[in-house]
Structure formats: C-alpha cells, structure tokens
Amino acid sequence: MTNKRDVYITEVALRDGSHPLAHQYTVEQVLRVAKALNDANVPYIEVSHGDGLAGSSLQYGLSRTNELELIEAAVSVADQSKIAVLLIPGIGTVKELKEAAALGAKMARIATHVTEADVAPQHIAAAKELGMETVGFLMMSHMAETGKLVEQAQLMESYGADTVYVVDSAGALLPDQVRERIRALKQHIGVNIGFHGHNNLSLAMANSLVAIEEGATRIDGSVRCLGAGAGNTQTEVLVAVLDRMGIPTGIDLYKMMDLAEDIVAPILPTPQEIKRDSLVLGYAGVYSSFALHAKRAAVKLGVDSRDVLIELGKRKVVGGQEDMILDVAAEIAARK
C-alpha cells in the first residue's frame, strides 16, 4: 500500500448508512467501524445523523445515541483518518458545528438543495474559522440544469468551500448527465470537485468513474453499500476498481474487504440490494432517505409505497420535506 492518492475517498457509512439502520448506531459499532477504516488508511470518515448534525428528531428519525458521542468515539480511534460531519443549514446550526469541531472533527460538509447554496455562507465561514476543511455539498443535483449547477457551485466556492460536490441524492443521474455536470464544474470553478452517488439505478460505480474521468478527485463511498436507498458507491469495490485502473487511493484493499465482511455485514438489517422502493427512488428522482419513511407510511395507510414515491417525485419534494410523505400517502389512500 502507498500513501499516494490521486482520488480521496470519504467513507459515508457512519452517516448515510444511518438511514437504513433507522439511526440506531451504537458507540461500540462506530468504534469498531471507524478503527477499521482508520487502519485501512481511508482519508475521511463521515459521522453524523443521516440528516446531518442535529438531525435526530421525530421528523427525520430519532437517534439511539447522541451523535456527538459517536463523533467523539470515531475521533478517539482515528489517528490517520480525518473525521467529517455533515450539516444541513436549517437542521444543524453553527452551535452544533462548533461542538463537533471541539470534539476533533476536521471536515465540515455543508449540504444544501442544489438551488439553495445561498443559505450556506455563514456555516462555511464558521467552519473555516474553526480550521476545518470545508465542502459545499449540492444535494439532488439531478434537479438543476448544468448552468444552474455551475452558478451554485461558484457560490459555494465564493463562500470559501475547498471542495464542491455534485450530489446524486436520489441515484437518478445517468452517466452522460454526470459527465456533463462534472466537466462544466471543472471548466468554471477552481477548487476540488467531488461526486456522491447512490445506487438506486445500479449506476453509482459507473457515475463515480465518469466523474473521476472528468476531473473529480473527491469521491464518496459506503462500505458494503451501507447508505440510504440502495446505498452508495461500494467503497471496497471502488478501491479495487481504481487499483485496477492504476489510480491510487492509498487505501488497503484487503483491510477494506475484511471490514466489509466481518464488521459491517453483521450490522446490516438486510443486505443492501436494489429493491422495489430503492429502484423507484432512482426512477422517480426522490431523495434516497425517503424510502424507509415511505414504506412506513404505506403500511400505516394501506397503500403502495411505489405510488407514494412516484407522487413525491412528481411534486419535486426535496430533503427537509419528510412531513409531505405521510400527507401524500393519506391522499392516495383517500382516492382508493
């Protein structure tokens, strides 16, 4: 293994993977996963509630363990990896960001809807003041035309973001759409470019590779595909593929394989597969964390969760509008 990296991978299973676990991570689980990721030399490990700092709520799902305890646990076993946190303005505040930084988090990923970068400047500025590496995270990037995406990325850069991400929150982007977006960002912004994919249409790996071809150097992955919907680009597979391509990540492949098999697989409630609901998420272009909420609402009201997700997609519902899920399910039930 070499420490040389052409692509820097952020492991998101301890944040995005909180969704399929209904935010029930324990300190012991985070300690084991984070230590193994650190030992495998993964550069960044994201740890937060699935919906970011302060996400634990009735609307987004209550955490079993206070996320600050989970962040502290991850930091305690990470002497090589940097711990990252996600913050969605309006859910998390500068207060939570300061608390995370005080515990040793080194990267802040400030996430907004793809057309709402203008809510992020104070959070990015605060992260910079705290000495954190900062990322502008443009969620639901499939919902904006490329020109609009470029405009929003330029805003993130102007606020001080060190990296700007194209975030395929719904797993809805096709490879040519990723290529067009990353290529445009490469031409129009001067900071690092990242890509965060979901596998709802079985395209997370293909889209990640296209992003790298077009100049992205920051890629997200989730070990064993542990992420919302059908999961993210599978980290251990991504490391293997990039190694075959001669693109160094600095990550120990064998250790990632062992972590996936021996530590993460037993945590999964069910294997991460492209099932009906996750496939519909990608097809309809709906936020990947909506799957569990839609399934619960559908069972409660006796409707098909696919109908709920398709309708949410038609209404262009975005992250933060989880309260709409039950409303839509109720409307569908009333029409039956």
Establish whether 188 is an annotated binding residue: no
- Euclidean distance between CA atoms 106 and 93, whole angstroms: 17
Catalytic site residue 49? no
Set 19, 23, 142, 293: catalytic member = 19
Q: Is 306 annotated as belonging to a binding site?
A: no
44 known ligand binder = no
Q: In this structure, are residues 167 and 141 in contact, taking their beta carbons and an 8 Å threshold?
A: yes
What is the token pair recorded at 30?
A: 């985070």
**Dihedral sign from CA coordinates of 117, 120, 121, 125:** negative
**d(C-alpha 182, C-alpha 194), whole Å:** 8
Calpha distance 187→180 (Å, rounded) = 11
How many residues does the structure list for the chain?
336
Question: Rounded CA gap, 182 and 173, in Å?
Answer: 12
Is residue 45 within 8 Å of 78, Cβ to Cβ?
yes
Q: Where are the beta strands (DSSP E) in the chain?
A: 8-11, 44-46, 82-87, 107-113, 133-139, 163-167, 192-196, 218-221
Torsion 162-166-171-175 (CA) sign? negative
C-beta separation of 116 from 144 below 8 A: no
287 annotated ligand-binding residue: yes
How many other CB atoms are there within 10 angstroms of residue 273's CB atom? 11
The string of DSSP letters for 93-156 reads: -HHHHHHHHHHT--EEEEEEETT-GGG-HHHHHHHHHTT-EEEEEEESGGGS-HHHHHHHHHHH
- Other Cβ atoms within 10 Å of 4 Cβ, number: 8
Q: Using CA atoms in the order 291, 295, 301, 306, what is the torsion angle rounded to 10 degrees? A: 70
User: Does 141 count as an annotated binding residue?
Assistant: no
| Residue 169, marked binder | yes
Q: Check the CA dihedral 130-70-63-261 and report its sign.
A: positive
Q: Which residues are known binding-site members for substrate?
A: 15-16, 169, 196, 287
Q: Which residues are known binding-site members?
A: 15-16, 169, 196, 198, 287
Q: Which residues are known binding-site members for Mn(2+)?
A: 16, 196, 198
Catalytic residue positions, numbered: 19
